A and B are shown apart, each in its own frame.
Chain A
Amino acid sequence: MIGYLLEIGQALLALLLAPGLVGFIRMVKARLQGRRGAPPWQPYYDLRKLFGKEAVVSGNASWLFRFSPYLIFAATVVVTMLVPLVAAPLPFDAAGDLLTVVYLMLLGTFFLALAGLDPGTAFGGMGASREMTVAAIAEPTIALAIFGLAVGAGSTNLGRIVAQTLSHPGAVINPGHLLGFTALFIVTLAETGRLPVDNPATHLELTMIHEAMTLEYSGRYLALIEWAAGLKLLVFFSLLANLFLPWGVATTLTPGGLAIAVIALIAKLALLGLAVALIETRIAKLRLFRVPELLGVSFVLALLSVTSSFLLR
């Protein structure tokens, strides 16, 4: 029973933290670029504003356009219940392992691409096509990078992987671990639409990927999609943080342990956010045709991670 409460609590925590994380990265970026920037809680105001606004839907759009935001949001919320955010052995672990997580995210991406195509605008179609190009190369890499860890743990169950790493802390400086982390980090940047692949702050439609698909959305639909995008960022960050550096994750359900786990999670997310903001300030966007090469690097790293974990077991 308490386990299920924990699951719900974890999902609520993720929902609560996600806009803050996005806002935090934006603020750090602004500071690094010498601007004052909006406060980190600005995305919460944005979400409230969007939920209060009327949703305008194009006359050409079908039911798919209205249905997709709910599905994307729901799929991402389910993922937050399957990923060990604060505690490792979760009751839902039996319901879905790493493959479920990867493909639930892909389901969200797929429907977002469909929704981009649905109203029949030029930019939507362009965004959808680019998103699919990126996703097709990024998705196997995510699975492969985590497989590198799964081989060591002997299970594709995310909770089991975390527990295994906690009981064998030496494994963290394994080459498999290191290569897997690098691979997953690159894919995180690609999948969550951050810089070298996509610019989250762009207003130039020609270079958009994620934004191009959401151009037609407004009101509560846009709010749901933006919120889901924030959640996705949070999920990827916590995969990076908790699978590769699992310290702080509660293995027993005591109030003290959970409090530490929440604080550790926030600290790790802030650190990763800082790193991403730094990277985004330092580098320029890649040309679209170089993106597959970058993702190729991360795929090869993930492949080597699995090879070395498998052979050096």
Chain B
Amino acid sequence: MNGNDALFPQLATLGSSLVLLFGIALLWRRSLGAYVRAFRWQSLALALTFALIGYFGHNHELYVVAVILAVLKVIIIPSYLTRLYERVGGRREAQPYVNIATSLIIAGLLVSLSYAITRPLVAVSKLPTRNGIPLAVGLILIGVFVIISRRKALSQIVGFLVLENGIALLAALGTYGIPLIVELGVFLDVLMGFLVMQILVYQIKDTFESIDVEQLSKLRH
């Protein structure tokens, strides 16, 4: 036990709230480019939080995870996303199902809700990182909310990736990092899932000439 003990919980919570902040910033934006940028910054903050937990938790595997995460989610996936929306067109989330002001209020409520539901967990937990747990759960809920409230297939992909970031954050905060091999499997899954979705978006675009998922409910076009 040393003097870092007071600093660690603070920094872990700070990192988590930064990650959450970018999740909320995403809800405010309209252009798909801004979605991708917000996701990129969020992933960077997440990678830093991983490195931070690795440093204070003396788990050096987490550094490796942080680096892979940074390469995958800060560089590879965002650049693919950028290429995707440039090729598919439709740069704006013109009319989300839930308008932006309401989305923001709902996001606030979701985070408050996650504070309420994780309260018993935080109360019994002895982890120094426990204060970040409600924020991670809030981010997961916001990810789900982005998926259900946005029209464009691309925004929904970003929502899925945000959801995944939330789960990764929760795992890191709750366990100080799951084994590297599991983490690698998860990354591979995310990448595969993302590639599949990318192909799906091209298919939707080919068939419907739009990536608005509203079109999918029509039987004929």
Measured in the bound complex, the distance between the Cα atoms of B131 and A170 in whole Å is: 15
Contacts of A296 in B (CB 8 A): 28, 100-101, 104-105
CB atoms of A300 and B108 under 8 A apart:
yes
CB atoms of A308 and B17 under 8 A apart:
yes
Measured in the bound complex, the distance between the Cα atoms of B123 and A312 in whole Å is: 10
Measured in the bound complex, the distance between the Cα atoms of B111 and A300 in whole Å is: 10
Measured in the bound complex, the distance between the Cα atoms of B109 and A304 in whole Å is: 9
CB atoms of A303 and B13 under 8 A apart:
no
CB of B216 closer than 8 Å to a CB of A: no
Q: How far is the CB of B159 from chain A (nearest CB, A)?
A: 18
> For residues 92 through 144 of chain B, which have their beta carbon under 8 Å from a beta carbon of chain A?
100-101, 104-105, 107-108, 111-112, 115, 119, 131, 134-135
**Which of A74-82, A175-183, A244-252 contacts the other chain?**
A175-183
B134 nearest CB neighbor, chain A only = A311
A298 nearest CB neighbor, chain B only = B104
CB of B79 closer than 8 Å to a CB of A: no
CB of B24 closer than 8 Å to a CB of A: yes
Contacts of B17 in A (CB 8 A): 175, 178-179, 308
CB atoms of B108 and A303 under 8 A apart:
yes
Contacts of B28 in A (CB 8 A): 293-294, 296-297
CB of A174 closer than 8 Å to a CB of B: yes
Measured in the bound complex, the distance between the Cα atoms of B18 and A173 in whole Å is: 11
- Count of chain A to chain B residue pairs whose CB atoms are closer than 8 Å in the complex: 64
CB of B72 closer than 8 Å to a CB of A: no
Known: A170-B10, A312-B13. A297 touches B111 (CB 8 A): no
User: Which residue numbers of B lie inside 8 Å of A, CB to CB?
Assistant: 6-7, 10-11, 13-14, 16-18, 20-21, 24-25, 28, 100-101, 104-105, 107-108, 111-112, 115, 119, 131, 134-135
Q: How far is the CB of B24 from chain A (nearest CB, A)?
A: 6
B30 nearest CB neighbor, chain A only = A290
Contacts of B101 in A (CB 8 A): 292-293, 296
Q: How far is the CB of B145 from chain A (nearest CB, A)?
A: 13
Contacts of B25 in A (CB 8 A): 297
Known: A293-B100, A297-B24. A312 touches B107 (CB 8 A): no
Known: A174-B13, A178-B17, A307-B112. A312 touches B131 (CB 8 A): yes
Contacts of B134 in A (CB 8 A): 308, 311
Closest 5 CB pairs of A and B: A175-B17, A300-B108, A296-B104, A296-B101, A293-B100
CB of A86 closer than 8 Å to a CB of B: no
B106 nearest CB neighbor, chain A only = A300
Of A174, A293, A294, most B-chain CB atoms within 10 Å: A293
Measured in the bound complex, the distance between the Cα atoms of B24 and A182 in whole Å is: 12
CB of A301 closer than 8 Å to a CB of B: yes
Contacts of B6 in A (CB 8 A): 170
B17 nearest CB neighbor, chain A only = A175
CB atoms of B24 and A300 under 8 A apart:
yes
